[in-house]
Structure 1
Amino acid sequence: MIEPSKESGNTIKLAERRVFSHSFKPLYDEGMGLVEQTAEYLDGKGRAEAKKLSRLAATLYAAESMRLTTRLMQVASWLLLQRAANSGEMTRDQVASEKSKVRLDTASAREDAAGWSELPAAFLDLVNRSLSLQALVRRMDDEIYGERTELSTAASMRRTNPVSDQISLLNTAFARG
């Protein structure tokens, strides 16, 4: 197992201590569990619920589903890298090099986006849980690796540009044929 680094004197970064210890397992389990729950939902109940949506809401659902799966795959990649470091399969430098390929900034549409209120509650729960998990992982990544200066919250990960939201909806609509 990799020992946590000491920043100055005897100060130990708490996030780093958590990631490089046995207390990492619950976070890992939560993240991988959310990935599994999301896949089950999207392949089952979510597919059926999406068919009942208006065209506008269905387009938003499709776009948000892509964002959701992208977000969770990036978080899962980060968690797998940390687990590999924790188990000694990778060095801290190897993890730092590989994690540069991981993006922890996948945004979501805004709650006031057209069609948002029609989206199924179970789907919105998965979106919100994924945003919260991404924000937690991003804060931990910031503390451990120190590459970002701002802390992110689930709310700040919501897209704030309505034009961008509409362009995403249009791209999704035309991609569907």
Structure 2
Amino acid sequence: MTDRNTRTFQGGPIDFVDRLANSEMFSALFSDGMALVEETAAYLDGDGRVESKSLPRAASLAYATESMRLTTRLMQMASWLLLQRAVNEGEMSSEQAGSEKNKVRLSTLSSSQGGPGWDELPAQLRDLIDRSVRLQERIVHLDRMIYEAKDRAPMPVPGENPVAAQLSVLTAAFGQNRPS
């Protein structure tokens, strides 16, 4: 497939979107995502559990809500990252991943930062939420680059000049005698 993200090099197309998805950037994104999942799980099962018990009522409700949103957001992002890694490693076709990807909700998982009780939440929880939102934005951006590019109608591969091709057809049809 060729589009604005694909260039021809030595006779074959190079898909920059696929290369990006298989790049060091994706590897770093994958590592960051999985590390954040582990860090969040450790916090929520450890210090977060202890800190939540001493919160006032509004903050306690905000903690419960935000920790559930955070966990859901991270699980959705981890699912997307694992799907993309499966494609990168040849374990799944991009079509299969695209079908499975439709079950992953990346853009609907928000946080009510600044809502009632937000300022009373433990700093570490707020930091994890902020980092997860930034990671979510990076993943949504990459997802759009990968899957919207694949959905676009292909453009012709650069090569022969279409005007020159038409002139050749006209020359063949009418001969080389052109009026002066």
Alpha-carbon separation, structure 2, partners of 1:45 and 1:85? 36
Deviations 1:114-166 (A, max 9, x none): 1111001100000000000001100110111119xxxxxxxxxxxxxxxxxxx
Residue 27 of structure 1 deviates from its aligned partner by 1.1
Alpha-carbon separation, structure 1, partners of 2:52 and 2:113? 19
Confirm whether residue 109 of structure 1 aligns to residue 112 of structure 2: yes
Change (3 A) 1:14 1:127: farther
More strand by share: 2
Counterpart mapping for 1:70-89 below 5 A? 70-89=72-91
Confirm whether residue 40 of structure 1 aligns to residue 42 of structure 2: yes
Change (3 A) 1:52 1:61: same
Q: In structure 1, the residue corresponding to 2:119 is in which secondary structure?
A: helix
Confirm whether residue 136 of structure 1 aligns to residue 138 of structure 2: yes
Residue 101 of structure 1 deviates from its aligned partner by 0.4
Q: Which residue of 1 aligns with 2:7?
A: 10
Deviations 1:81-123 (A, max 9, x none): 0000000000111111110100002010132x11111001100
Which consecutive unaligned segments of at least 5 residues does structure 1 have?
Answer: 148-177
Residue 6 of structure 1 deviates from its aligned partner by 3.7
Q: Which residue of 1 aligns with 2:161?
A: none
Provide the identity percentage: 52
Contact between 2:7 and 2:15, CA under 8 Å: does it hold in 1?
Answer: no
The normalised TM-score by structure 1 is: 0.75
Q: In structure 2, the residue corresponding to 1:10 is in which secondary structure?
A: strand
RMSD between aligned alpha carbons? Answer: 1.9
Compare relative contact order (CA 8 Å, sep 6+) and give the higher one, 1 or 2.
Answer: 2
Residue 52 of structure 1 deviates from its aligned partner by 1.0
The normalised TM-score by structure 2 is: 0.73
Change (3 A) 1:128 1:16: farther
Aligned length: 142
Change (3 A) 1:24 1:140: same
Which consecutive unaligned segments of at least 5 residues does structure 2 have?
Answer: 9-13, 150-180
